[in-house]
A = this chain, B = another copy of it.
Amino acid sequence: MPRARIHRIATSGPDDTSGLRDLIETGALEPSKLVAILGKTEGNGCVNDFTRAFAVKALKQELGSAAEGVSMVMSGGTEGGLSPHIVTFEVLDENGPGAAMAIGAAISRDLKAHEIGTFIQIECVAEAVNEAIKTAGISAADDVHFIQIKCPLLTADRIAEAEGPVATTDTLKSMGLSRGASALGVALALGEIDIATAKTTKIGVDANVWSGRASTSAGIELMGHEIVVLGMSSNWTGPLIVDHAVMTDAIDTASVTASLDRLNVGEHAKLRAIFAKAEASSNGRIRGDRHTMLDDSDISSTRHARAFVGGALAGLTGGCDIYVSGGAEHQGPDGGGPVAVIAERTC
């Protein structure tokens, strides 16, 4: 029977793999069991953030052949007090009672530059997501709580060499379109939207069309998609459980409190990891108060949002090694975002 195991490992820099190595050396982590590694690195999380690729290169070097087939999703940007770290996901084989947290993973084909931010990307992602759910052995879409996708972006070079017209020539904006199309791919796969909606939704514009369980990050280092699915499955065993919340705005801590309660965190379980999306609301308001994130030409709004939502979640949970990823296009309602919570049953 499959059993999920996770480790949350602090890093001292993008290429620091010493914590991972220590766990391997003590036997607490078996490289051959790894299916995914998610992490926060300390770059700007935008176009020219090379810390993600640097981290992946270091992890691959550290893991050697065991890295083969492991989905590595680094999200740049540890603004405010957010702490750089990685979370490893292993699948062990163990008998025991279900249900428990299940993990699935998949990798899509590479996109061409002109496909980024279009319906072609939505379809490509939906297909790969369905494959990942199947590999996870999750039987119902409702049992899926988190789908993390690493997706590509456009650079000046890629635009110059594109085969056809690109969705945008603004490189920063291309990250948003790619994240948005990927999230719509999740929504399509989970039945949150139908194919007709997927086709007609204006990517990056129709903010009322969204997935409550997608978390997508754009990176310069790939042209395809790396997909990790988390959910509950009666086919899995072990102490880990997972749930999700959908924050309705940047300060909706109540929704996360409800999710922690559903998992009995505090009483019968302890918090093990949080994965959240954050973004600036497009109407420039939070509960009626004007924010300035979208008007700031010195700091990207994605950096503002990560710092702020990171503060809200860290203030709630008392820890800073939280995965908060910027750019929540079509991921939760405008200005809000999905939050996945992993806990460990303590009794």
Contact = CB atoms under 8 A, between A and B. Distances in A.
A266 interface: no
Nearest to A296: B48
B156 A47 contact: no
Interface string A250-269: 11010000000000000000
Interface string A37-61: 0000011101111110110011000
Contacts of A85: 289
Given A313-B315, A315-B313, A171 B295 contact: yes
Report the interface size class on chain A.
Answer: 35 or more
B287 A319 contact: yes
A18 B215 CA distance: 33
A156 B319 contact: no
A291 B172 contact: no
B79 A283 contact: no
A213 B293 CA distance: 30
Interface stretch (A9-17, A63-71, A224-232): A9-17
Contact of A307 (B155, B170, B307): B307
Contacts of A316: 253, 315
Given A54-B54, A284-B160, A290-B12, A314 B251 contact: yes
A193 to B, nearest CB: 22
Contacts of A78: 291-292
A7 to B, nearest CB: 15
A221 to B, nearest CB: 9
A39 B79 CA distance: 24
